[in-house]
Structure 1
């Protein structure tokens, strides 16, 4: 897994290759976030607690993950 500092570093690589790399990281993070939200809900955490941890509103968290 890539470290946060490696995500932000610009090593002078080809811009399109870097964009592809970042898109892959974004997909990986999205899958991980979805899994953790599911785990939190299964463990009984409220949408408010999950939203707070994600830094979004309760409504935004529920809209993104509530119907899965």
Structure 2
């Protein structure tokens, strides 16, 4: 998982990097906007991945991948 973390961090940095500055001027609101879009997309991808995983994996396995408790995973994604 460490490799994936590094790769995702690099990719997001590449995407958001240009939004941080326009010339010498910092653009924090552009970064806030980009981060909000990325979070929304990530939430959608996560929900879709959990739905796909439900056919082959237990809630315990899914919870482990989410880094949460089985109960929390089930409450959030069982619908």
Deviation of the 1:8 alpha carbon:
4.8
Report what 1:16 is aligned to: 29
1:1-68 equivalence runs, <5 A: 3-8=8-13, 11=17, 12-13=20-21, 14-42=27-55, 44-67=56-79
Structure that is richer in strand per residue = 2
Structure with the higher fraction of residues in helix conformation: 2
Task: Please say which structure displays the higher CA radius of gyration.
Answer: 2
Q: Identify which of structures 1 and 2 has the higher relative contact order when contacts are C-alpha pairs closer than 8 Å and 6+ apart.
A: 1
Report the number of matched residues. Answer: 64
Structure 1 pair 56–8 and aligned structure 2 pair: CA distance change class (3 A): farther
Find the aligned partners of 1:54 and 1:46 in 2 and give their Cα distance: 12
TM-score (normalizing by structure 2): 0.69
Q: CA deviation at 1:17?
A: 0.7
Question: Which structure 1 segments of 5+ residues have no match?
Answer: none
Superposed CA RMSD: 1.9
